[in-house]
Structure 1
Amino acid sequence: MKDQIEASRRTRRPHERTFKDDLIAQSLMPGASVAAIAMKGGVNANLLFKWRREHVKAKAAVASAPPNLLPVCVIPDVGPAPTSRPATTVDPSGAHVSRSARPGVIEVEIAGAQLRLRGAVDEAMLGSVLRALRQSA
């Protein structure tokens, strides 16, 4: 009697993470049939829908995570002090820019990688590089 009860119990099959990720990726393609993909993978369509919901929820949680703040060390310039105050102008973003400012150096260390930027730095490009480094970490 005990053997019959144990045999009739439903057991959950463990699925490899790569198997789940593959089915999720296939099901997220435009025009994909979740039911057909689930059938081909040998799982119930409801289970695949559950995996998709968990995947989208986890992805949204990562996207909404607060940005990581990085330590910054300011090293004073050892060059000669300016004799007069340089003329400044205002750029379209509203920040003051020195006309006679010398190009500086920005050094950033992220996940063991060191990034050194010399000269004038494009803010949009720097943002793209930092986002790419953060995602690779």
Structure 2
Amino acid sequence: KLYLDPFMDMYNSEIISYSISRKPSSQAIVSALTQAIEATNDCKYRRPFHSDRGWAYQMKVYNKMLTKNKIFQSMSRKGNCYDNSVMENFFGVLKHKMYYGVVYYSYDELKNAIEKYITYYNQYRIKSKLNWMSPVEYRLSFVA
């Protein structure tokens, strides 16, 4: 069993940062948040970070980091799963493609499989909404 805390760029559905831990912890989410902030530092526009209503996204340290970096916090409405449907879809695809029906015998084996899947998802998994490109290919196609 492990806990995955990913951050997705809604522009191209790329997982821009994540942390994997043995148990839910504030350190894991802050680590992923720090990476996401660094990955989006060059953004010219207002940066909204959307999340569900989980305890990790309501921590004072999380909110302070967003405020310090001029990031707008967007949070799902209570009881409305559709607000976070993009991330829920990612989790569903991840479980379907590399988890269901497979037995992982250790934390490290599962962690490595998830890391490999995220690399595949970002760099090779094409999407029709991205003109049949992967998230990374799509992002790079607009870099001048």
Fold match (TM-score > 0.5)? no
Q: Who wins on radius of gyration, i.e. which is larger?
A: 1
Give the structure with the higher percent helix.
2
TM-score in terms of structure 2 length: 0.25
TM-score in terms of structure 1 length: 0.26
